[in-house]
Amino acid sequence: MRVLLCPDKFAGTLPAQEVAAAVADGWREVAAGDDLLIRPLADGGPGFVAVLAEALGGRRLPVPTVDPLGRPAAGEILLTDDGVAYLESAQACGLHLLTAAERDPKATTSYGLGLLVAAAVEAGARTVVVGLGGSATNDGGAGMLTALGVTPLDQAGHALPYGGAALAAVAALDGAPRLRGADLVAATDVDNPLLGLHGASNVYGPQKGATRADVLLLDAALERFAAVLERELPGCPPGLGALPGGGAAGGLGAAILALGGRCESGIGLVTRAIGLDAALDRADLVITGEGSFDHQSLRGKVVAGVAGAARDRGVPCVVLAGRVSTGRREAAAAGVTEAYSLVEHFGGEERGGVEAAMGRPAEGLRALGARLARQWSR
């Protein structure tokens, strides 16, 4: 039997590779002879580089960088033989790098991502693919641009402080981007535009700590910044504020577009790179999953995408998640055959299941892997 294991991360508890490895361990305890295809997934957010490194090979280069508050952070670039560098915004801008009290998109900066891009260019990359998502920043990529040699200035010609709020005073740019002709690609987790009701500040600002008043201020500041980028960067497309993907990672998508780059779907890029379609064609059972399997998952691109693709091929698809809150019927309509939760596995919410699920996720996934093998292996 051929089983395809292609989970997303369990945000906050386990990276996608460890989810897949734990389920595989459990399955093999019961049915060692089965053929397990392990293809962890990512959508541009945390884990993008690690997932691609496993699938593509190449050289992993550690690069010291800074976090959204300017403190040292560990970054990494994946360099492949064909001159493509892959890096991820979450390593420098990630929400997971801050405590809840530190979250403030008025002040957080994407400067650290600029250091990673600069290092990729320095290492000779001809194309730099930047995974976007899971960020704590809403600075329209202003910090990244600064690290690449383009400094936002106020009316008096002074460099602006870091953070999204300062862009309310942006009037001009100084300098030219140091990219040595490299092409930029944003691999985005969402296709929201930079501005407006569906834009970065309104939709993702609150999860980064923005109040209602902050959201209004940040959206207006980004509008002003977009006008400056359009006016001063020769490669910037018109109508920057409305372009799909521009609102990913607090407007980093728009900054990459402004530098003459393009945006594409992160999960689309990852599934192509790892050959997911071919793996699905060969599978007798698909196991996917994520931290929280909820109504958002059914509209999202990772788990819903896998389940839909499995259904199209008539292959059963099982979801394993930390918690499950979808109805059976709506999950079935999306192509999900069965869904299991770690919280239930550990006895349910009333019996300490949440603490156990959060504290010992790999143990629970191993047990669920064994249970699925007992049920499905033939």
Ligand X SMILES: O=C(O)[C@H](O)CO
Ligand Y SMILES: Nc1ncnc2c1ncn2[C@@H]1O[C@H](COP(=O)(O)OP(=O)(O)OP(=O)(O)O)[C@@H](O)[C@H]1O
248 binds, among ligand X, ligand Y, none (CB under 5 to 8 A by kind): ligand X
357 near ligand Y, rule: CB under 6 A: yes
Residues near 64 by beta carbon (within 8 Å), at least 6 away in sequence: 72, 73, 74, 75, 115
Q: How far is the CB of 299 from ligand X (least distance, A)?
A: 14
User: Interface residues for ligand X in 42-61 (CB under 6 A)?
Assistant: 45
Exactly one of 5, 6, 7, 10 binds ligand Y (CB under 6 A); which one? 10
131 near ligand X, rule: CB under 6 A: no
Q: How far is the CB of 190 from ligand X (least distance, A)?
A: 5
Exactly one of 7, 40, 322, 369 binds ligand Y (CB under 6 A); which one? 322
16 near ligand Y, rule: CB under 6 A: no
For 350: left if phi > 0, alpha if psi spans -120 to 50, otherwise beta; the answer is alpha
SS (H, E, C) 172-192: EEECCCCCCCCEEEEEECCCC
189 near ligand X, rule: CB under 6 A: yes
249 near ligand X, rule: CB under 6 A: yes
204 binds, among ligand Y, ligand X, none (CB under 5 to 8 A by kind): ligand X
Q: How far is the CB of 204 from ligand X (least distance, A)?
A: 4
For 344, phi then psi, to 5°, come to -65, -40
Q: How far is the CB of 114 from ligand Y (least distance, A)?
A: 23
Residue 296 belongs to what H/E stretch?
A: helix 295-299
Q: How far is the CB of 234 from ligand Y (least distance, A)?
A: 34
Residues near 146 by beta carbon (within 8 Å), at least 6 away in sequence: 111, 114, 152, 159, 162
The Cα 211–Cα 301 span in angstroms is 28
250 near ligand X, rule: CB under 6 A: yes
Q: How far is the CB of 239 from ligand Y (least distance, A)?
A: 27
Exactly one of 4, 195, 215, 248 binds ligand X (CB under 6 A); which one? 248
The Cα 236–Cα 326 span in angstroms is 42
Residue pair 43/270 in contact by the 8 Å Cβ criterion:
yes
135 binds, among ligand X, ligand Y, none (CB under 5 to 8 A by kind): ligand X
Site string for ligand Y, 273-312 (x = CB under 6 A): -----------------xxx--------------------
The Cα 112–Cα 243 span in angstroms is 24
CB-wise, 177 or 250, nearer to ligand X?
Answer: 250
CB-wise, 34 or 219, nearer to ligand X?
Answer: 219
The Cα 111–Cα 163 span in angstroms is 9
By DSSP bridging, strand 285-293 and strand 2-5 are parallel
User: Interface residues for ligand Y in 39-58 (CB under 6 A)?
Assistant: 45
Q: How many CA within 13 A on the CB side of residue 208?
A: 31
Q: How far is the CB of 372 from ligand X (least distance, A)?
A: 30
Give helix then strand counts, H and E, for the chain: 16, 13
Q: Which of the 8 DSSP states describes residue 135?
A: B
The Cα 145–Cα 143 span in angstroms is 5
Residue pair 149/174 in contact by the 8 Å Cβ criterion:
no
Q: How far is the CB of 135 from ligand X (least distance, A)?
A: 3
Q: Which positions lie near ligand X, rule CB under 6 A?
A: 45, 132-135, 189-190, 204, 248-250
Q: Which positions lie near ligand Y, rule CB under 6 A?
A: 8-13, 45, 290-292, 322-323, 342-343, 357-358, 361
